[in-house]
Amino acid sequence: MPAWRVHIKIAELLCIDAEVARIVNEIIDIRKPHDGRSEFGAFADKLLEIFRRFNDPQKLMDALMAFHLHHILDIASEKGSLDEGIEEYKQILQDLLEKLKTLQEIRSRMPEVDDILFIERYPSDQEGVSFDDVEALSNKFILIEDSFREILRRLKEGCKGAPEGPYTLLPKGLKDFLDQLDSIEEELGDEDILDAEKILKRIFGERLGEEASMMGGRRINVIPPIGIPGECAEILYVVFGVKDMLDPHTFYSRMFEAHKHIIDTCKGTTKYVVFHVPYGIPKISDTKSFSNFVKRWWGWYISTPAHPAWMAAFITFSEVAKSIGVLTVIKLIRGPRVIIM
Query: Could you give the maximum distance between any two Cα atoms of the chain, in Å?
Result: 76
Q: Indicate the helix (H) or strand (E) that contains 331.
A: strand 327-333
Which spans in 16-81 are helix H? 18-29, 40-53, 57-79
Q: How far apart are CA 71 and CA 73, in angstroms?
A: 5
Q: What is the pLDDT along the chain (341 residues), one digit of tens a residue?
A: 678 788 888 888 888 999 999 999 898 887 766 666 767 778 888 888 898 888 888 888 899 999 999 999 888 888 888 888 899 999 988 888 888 888 777 777 776 665 555 565 555 455 666 767 777 777 777 788 888 888 888 888 776 655 554 445 567 788 888 888 888 887 888 778 888 888 888 877 765 455 556 776 778 899 998 767 678 888 999 998 888 877 778 888 888 898 888 888 888 788 888 988 876 554 444 444 444 544 444 444 333 343 444 556 666 666 666 666 677 888 888 776 776 65
C-alpha of 260 from chain center: 18
Q: How many helices (H) and strands (E) does the chain have?
A: 13, 9
Phi then psi dihedrals of residue 40, to 5 deg: -55, -50
Q: Output the 3-class SS for 160-188.
A: CCCCCCCCCCCCHHHHHHHHHHHHHHCCC
The amino acid at residue 13 is: L
| pTM of model > 0.85 | no
